[in-house]
Amino acid sequence: MSSLQGKTRSRRSSSDNLPAAVREAEKPHSRVACFGEDQPLLLDSGHVLKPLTIAYQTYGTLDERKANAVLVCHALSGDQHVANTHPVTGKPGWWEIMVGPGKPIDTDRYFVICANVVGGCMGTTGPSSINPATGRPYALDLPVVTVRDMVRAQAMLLDHLEIRDLFSVTGGSMGGMQVLQWAASYPERVFSAIPIATAAKHSSQNIAFHEVGRQAVMADPEWCKGNYILKRKNPRKGLAVARMAAHITYLSEEALARKFGRNLQDRDNVTFGFDADFQVESYLRHQGMTFVDRFDANAYLYMTRAMDYFDLAADYGDVLANAFAGTRTRFCIVSFTSDWLFPTDGNRQVVHALNAAGANVSFVEIESDKGHDAFLLEEPELWATIRGFLGSCGRVRGLAEKETAGR
Amino acid sequence: MNTPARVRAREQKRADFQVIEALVEDRAKVLDIGCGDGELLKLLEETRRVDGRGIELSQAGVNRCVANGLSVIQGDADRDLVDYPDDSFDYVILSQTIQAVHRPRTVLAQLLRIGKRAIVSLPNFAHWRIRVQILSRGRMPVTNRLPYSWYDTPNIHYCTIRDFVELCREMAVHIDHKAVFDAHGRRLADGAPLFWLNIFGEQAVFLLSR
């Protein structure tokens, strides 16, 4: 890990003024798998993407049978840095609470892989990558990608790593959509699946929220119709507003009330102006401003679009159960009571479809007031669920038990 | 916790579980509706190596089951059985739960649609202790097996052994086997007449088929 951080420093000195997405596209702080002209990624839009770079991280050791691989799929604003210090922000990985030695997804036992999704901005081919046809960043010339495209790319990565099948696939939110798509597209490659706080289709309300975010980005004059990298601009304000709006949807009313209430920010009275008088405003502004340091505005458009387009049943005659017909994958669906972005009902629809398909499915709704973000936070019930589920799947699959002495 | 009435003396619980364990074949595919914290499923997985699934209303129960490695979903018998295809399971078990569902007759039909066979166990509301309580006190009975007051009970459709047998007859459901236990968990003689079982039986287990 220290060498990784060393690399961060050395690169920053030469190209500190470039946005993180450009630096990462140029030279990611991850392992990369490169697919040349002969291995194009066929996209749902009908376009092909070639060449293709996939940036990914791994943790733990692949066992001799190659039976213990766990694919973690990241969410909209996530990336492959699940359980290591983030090379851009210097903060801990986004799921260190879940993935690591002795954690529920135990890297002493499982070989964990996480790849930056196609269309992303942390090294996998995305809108800030160079378009070989023009020698300039793709920007909006990158074809629109879908969740299924993301999963196809991950399957190519597994082929590249010579891993035939996955012990488990997991992820929350957009990551959960990828999990469902994995189970539908490659049932024989998925032994178990843990979709968390997700849905088999993006709701009208969620598409609406995404549209607000995209319009905020596109309304920023620095967006330059997507060509901000070439023009050495950055639509920071637009992206920050998009993030602020989205962030509200990740929390719950209770969580906001508990955390901030109507508390004022460093002042005793309101100022009768439009400063961030309230703590909640200050918090949101901070969320917005820190996000733009690590995320690419165009990638935000692509990620939100991919989620909008997600409707798994549509590919299976509008009958969700058909997506899982004959599946032998073991499923564990998790939702949270206060999640209004991906509410329990949407998760339960997946459960019903899986039951109708005769699948082996567990479903846990976890009592939490933390909203959609709960899957990223301290939720011991979630940890116990995942630990228990993976443990029982491991017994069925015949994975070596971990030596528990000392832990 | 508004779970179906599963409160009962431990040795009695064992009694009805033992019967169920004896009825279920090795490696059968089993659905336990109202599986609580998964005790029966775990038992059947260990001793019968069944492919077991569960449905449980209480979140706490579900979470304990899943953390224990069982395949259990949060749901209830009234709402969540319709999704399963016909003949999904070799056995569908409804243990001490039928008196707590909203539409027992519909649920019973569902059990025998999705399962090749159903195992239903129920508390007998015609047990002599209950008869005596109603007669002598003129109030709804509260017993070890049925510990709730009338106003907070999840048991909204009490029935007797005779009622259940009658419902099966009406629905042309075969009773392949029945086991009736007294208040001490002792099994009453199979050949005993129905009126006898209906007075001295505190709980009954039925194996049903279409």
Contact A384, A105 (CB under 8 A): no
Task: Let me know if A173 is a catalytic residue.
Answer: yes
pLDDT at site A78 = 96
Is A392 at the interface with chain B, CB within 8 A? yes
d(CA A60, CA A83): 11
Q: How many CB atoms lie within 10 A of CB A254?
A: 14
Task: With respect to residue B187, please indicate whether it lies within any of the assigned structural domains.
Answer: yes
Task: With respect to residue B14, please indicate whether it lies within any of the assigned structural domains.
Answer: yes
Task: With respect to residue B5, please indicate whether it lies within any of the assigned structural domains.
Answer: no
Is B84 at the interface with chain A, CB within 8 A? yes
d(CA A98, CA A106): 8
d(CA A66, CA A165): 8
d(CA B148, CA A296): 60
Closest residue, chain A, to B80 (C-alpha): A352
d(CA A385, CA B69): 8
- Is B16 in a helix, a strand, or coil? helix
> Whole domain around residue B138: which residue ranges?
10-209
> Which of B72, B73, B88 is facing A358, going by the closest CB pair?
B88
Task: With respect to residue B104, please indicate whether it lies within any of the assigned structural domains.
Answer: yes
Strand partners, B203: B123, B181
Q: How many CB atoms lie within 10 A of CB A37?
A: 10
Strand partners, B80: none
Question: pLDDT digit string (tens) for A355-405?
Answer: 999 899 999 999 999 999 999 999 999 999 999 999 999 999 999 887 654
Task: With respect to residue B4, please indicate whether it lies within any of the assigned structural domains.
Answer: no
Length of chain A measured in residues: 407
CATH number for position B137 = 3.40.50.150
The nearest CA of chain B is from the CA of A32 a distance in Å of 36
> Which of A356, A388, A391 is facing B84, going by the closest CB pair?
A356
Tell me if ipTM is over 0.95. Answer: no
Question: pLDDT digit string (tens) for A197-214?
Answer: 999 999 999 999 999 999
pLDDT at site B109 = 96
Is it the case that residue A313 has pLDDT exceeding 90? yes
CB atoms B73 and A360 under 8 Å: no
Chain B hits for A367, Cβ within 8 Å: 59
Contact A56, A50 (CB under 8 A): no
d(CA B23, CA A358): 23
Task: With respect to residue B3, please indicate whether it lies within any of the assigned structural domains.
Answer: no
d(CA A405, CA A219): 58
Question: pLDDT digit string (tens) for B68-123?
Answer: 889 999 988 898 899 899 999 999 999 989 999 999 999 999 999 999 999 999 99
In chain B, the number of structural domains is 1
Topology at the third CATH level for domain A202-309: Rna Polymerase Sigma Factor; Chain: A (1.10.1740)
| Cα angle: A98, vertex A104, A107; to 5 degrees | 85
Is it the case that residue B5 has pLDDT exceeding 50? no
d(CA A259, CA B8): 43
> Which of A351, A356, A389 is facing B73, going by the closest CB pair?
A351
The nearest CA of chain B is from the CA of A364 a distance in Å of 6
Interface of B with A in 30-59 (CB under 8 A): 51, 53, 59
Q: How many CB atoms lie within 10 A of CB B49?
A: 11
